[in-house]
């Protein structure tokens, strides 16, 4: 009962205790809620107070950002424009450099033309001025502007020369006389014509380019020497004028005899001409030998066969001996062995034909070898001539063509004569070989006719019996 009573009272006691605690908790919560509402109101008032300044600051920052973006866009446009302008400037710079290079090439070309157009007598006057201009392009250490200034000075030198030579020009110098001696005197230039006269007036003539750097004197008419000397020394007088401006003299200087032309070919001309002499001598001999070669008439073999058909061997031999040449010996040998079978008789006649063939063909190989060797000797001369030319280029350069003429002449003339010898030799070899082949063919035809005829006679006798011999 006590336990039942305790269980009945205990829930009520607990409930009353929890009820007091709930009331206390509710009161505490209301206090906290009131405090939180008060704090929220205070916070809202603070936010309301600070919202306007923050919004103003935000607008200011957004405006600043927009300005910075505009500045960035402007700077990007400026950068792009600067890049385009820089590219344009680089293109213009390249074009200007190309123009300067083109101008430099023009000035260098003008200097070279100026140097090549100088009269041989003027070389000593302008060598010191023009050579530095010609060599400046190879001086890599100089700046381009310095090179252009040096090259442009060629224009001043050229204009000064034109002004000086406009009305004629005379100056002292020396030249090579026709006998090879050096002689001092005076030059007189009248346009493209140069005249030299010795100081004493004993020698006078046209001044031309020689084999050395010094001009040479060409005395074309001794009767004109006084007039030329007077004009060169005094600057006045009448002179004979070459209307071709030296071209006629140059053409006359190039004329040469056959021996002079051959001599320019050098040492290889001797074997070429030696082969040519041997080949044409052999060719002439073979032509005469073939011309004297006697061929039997086409009816001779038939006449001999006719005699053999009637058993007249002596008359057949007489007919064969009546002819000259190897055909007679071949037919006599055939008559002698006419009793042999066809195959053996053919071999006997072919043997006689083989004895004739080497005699007819001898010497033809020499002509054929000449036709093959002559161009090779000419090519060999070309190679040695070019080697000599390159040696001269190494020593003297390419400025003076006359110093290179010996090697070039050897290179071209040997080839020329090699072909001159080879072509006729080839034609001569073909002509004589064809003639020999024709003669051998005629002899072979005679041999075949005789063998076939003897075979027919033998078959006829075997069929009809022996033919009676006329008394």
Residue 377 maps to a domain: yes
Q: Contact, 205 vs 217, CB < 8 A?
A: yes
d(CA 305, CA 301) in angstroms, rounded, equals 6
Q: Which residue has the tokens 């031309």?
A: 208
Whether residue 243 sits in one domain with residue 296: no
Q: What are phi and psi of 119, to 5 degrees?
A: -65, 145
Q: Contact, 413 vs 265, CB < 8 A?
A: yes
Residue 371 maps to a domain: yes
Residue 355 maps to a domain: yes
Q: Is 207 helix (H, G, I), strand (E, B) or coil?
A: strand
- pTM of the predicted model as reported, rounded to 2 decimal places: 0.48
Q: Is 178 helix (H, G, I), strand (E, B) or coil?
A: coil
Q: Domain boundary at 255, 289, 312, which?
A: 255
**In 3D, which of 235, 197, 236 has the Cα closest to residue 215?**
197
Would you tell me how many other CB atoms lie within 10 Å of the CB of residue 50? 10
Whether residue 433 sits in one domain with residue 385: yes
Helix axes 405-464, 300-309, angle to 10 degrees: 20
pLDDT in tens, the chain (471 residues): 545 555 565 555 555 555 567 778 777 888 888 888 888 888 888 887 777 788 888 888 888 888 898 888 888 888 888 878 888 888 888 888 888 888 888 888 888 888 888 877 787 788 788 888 888 877 777 787 888 888 888 888 888 888 877 767 788 888 888 777 888 888 887 777 777 888 887 788 777 777 667 788 877 667 777 877 777 777 777 776 666 656 666 666 567 777 877 777 778 888 988 988 999 898 888 888 887 777 767 677 777 777 777 777 777 777 766 667 676 667 767 777 667 777 777 777 777 777 777 788 888 888 889 889 999 998 888 888 888 777 777 766 655 555 556 567 667 888 888 899 999 999 998 888 888 888 777 777 777 777 777 777 777 766 765 544 333
Q: β-pairing, 193-198 with 204-208?
A: antiparallel
In DSSP notation, 319-343 reads: HHHTS-SHHHHHHHHHHHTTTS-HH
Whether residue 228 sits in one domain with residue 291: no
Q: Domain boundary at 255, 278, 293, which?
A: 255
Whether residue 222 sits in one domain with residue 277: no
Residue 435 maps to a domain: yes
Token digits for 15? Answer: 């409930």
Query: What's the longest Cα–Cα distance across the chain?
Result: 203
**In 3D, which of 374, 346, 368 has the Cα closest to residue 452?**
346
Residue 24 maps to a domain: no
Whether residue 427 sits in one domain with residue 309: yes
**CA of 121: how far to CAs of 114, 168, 177, 186, 253, in Å?**
14, 13, 13, 10, 19
Residue 248 maps to a domain: yes
d(CA 166, CA 249) in angstroms, rounded, equals 24
In terms of phi and psi (left: phi > 0; alpha: psi -120 to 50; beta: otherwise), the region of 358 is: alpha
Domain membership of residue 219 as a residue range: 168-255
**CA of 468: how far to CAs of 309, 311, 337, 361, 452, in Å?**
10, 8, 21, 45, 22
Token digits for 202? Answer: 């004993």
Whether residue 282 sits in one domain with residue 406: yes
Sequence-ordered list of residues with C-beta below 8 angstroms from that of 296, at least 6 positions apart, any chain: 323, 325, 327, 328, 331, 446
Number of domains in the chain: 2
Sequence-ordered list of residues with C-beta below 8 angstroms from that of 130, at least 6 positions apart, any chain: 111, 114, 115, 118, 154, 157
Q: Domain boundary at 226, 255, 284, which?
A: 255
Sequence-ordered list of residues with C-beta below 8 angstroms from that of 232, at least 6 positions apart, any chain: 170, 185, 186, 187, 188, 195, 196, 197, 204
């Amino acid at each position: 009962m006590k336990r039942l009573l305790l269980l009945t009272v205990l829930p009520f006691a607990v409930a009353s205790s929890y009820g007091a605690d709930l009331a206390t908790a509710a009161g505490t919560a209301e206090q906290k809620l009131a405090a939180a509402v008060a704090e929220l109101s205070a916070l809202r008032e603070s936010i309301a107070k600070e919202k306007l300044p923050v919004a103003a600051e935000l607008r200011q920052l957004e405006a600043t950002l927009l300005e910075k973006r505009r500045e960035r866009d402007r700077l990007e446009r400026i950068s792009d424009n600067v890049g385009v302008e820089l590219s344009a400037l680089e293109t213009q710079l390249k074009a200007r450099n190309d123009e300067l290079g083109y101008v430099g090439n023009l000035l260098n070309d003008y200097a070279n033309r100026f140097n090549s157009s100088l009269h041989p007598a003027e070389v000593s006057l302008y060598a010191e001025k023009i050579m530095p201009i010609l060599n400046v392009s190879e001086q890599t250490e100089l700046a381009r502007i310095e090179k252009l200034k040096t090259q442009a000075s060629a224009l001043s030198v050229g204009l000064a020369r034109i002004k000086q030579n406009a009305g004629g020009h005379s100056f002292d110098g020396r030249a090579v006389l026709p006998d090879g001696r050096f002689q001092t005197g005076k030059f007189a230039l009248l346009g493209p014509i140069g005249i030299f006269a010795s100081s004493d007036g004993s020698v006078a003539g046209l001044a031309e380019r020689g084999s050395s750097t010094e001009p040479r004197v060409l005395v074309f008419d001794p009767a004109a020497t006084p007039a030329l000397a007077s004009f060169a020394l005094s600057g006045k007088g009448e002179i004979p004028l070459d209307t071709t401006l030296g071209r006629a003299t140059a053409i006359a200087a190039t004329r040469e005899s056959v021996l002079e032309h051959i001599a320019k070919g050098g040492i290889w001309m001797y074997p070429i001409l030696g082969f040519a002499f041997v080949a044409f001598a052999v060719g002439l001999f073979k032509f005469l030998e073939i011309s004297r070669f006697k061929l039997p008439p086409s009816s001779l073999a038939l006449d001999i066969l006719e005699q053999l058909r009637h058993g007249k061997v002596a008359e057949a031999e007489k007919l064969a001996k009546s002819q000259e040449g190897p055909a007679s010996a071949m037919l006599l040998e055939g008559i002698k062995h006419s009793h042999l079978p066809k195959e053996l008789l053919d071999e006997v006649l072919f043997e006689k034909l083989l004895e004739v063939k080497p005699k007819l063909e001898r010497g033809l190989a020499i002509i054929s070898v000449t036709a093959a060797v002559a161009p090779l000797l000419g090519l060999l001369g070309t190679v040695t001539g070019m080697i000599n030319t390159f040696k001269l280029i190494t020593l003297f350069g390419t400025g003076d063509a006359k110093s290179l003429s010996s090697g070039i002449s050897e290179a071209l003339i040997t080839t020329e004569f090699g072909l001159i010898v080879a072509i006729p030799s080839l034609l001569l070899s073909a002509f004589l070989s064809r003639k020999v082949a024709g003669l051998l063919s005629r002899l072979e035809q005679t041999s075949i006719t005789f063998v076939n005829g003897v075979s027919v006679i033998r078959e006829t006798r075997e069929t009809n019996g022996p033919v009676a011999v006329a008394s």
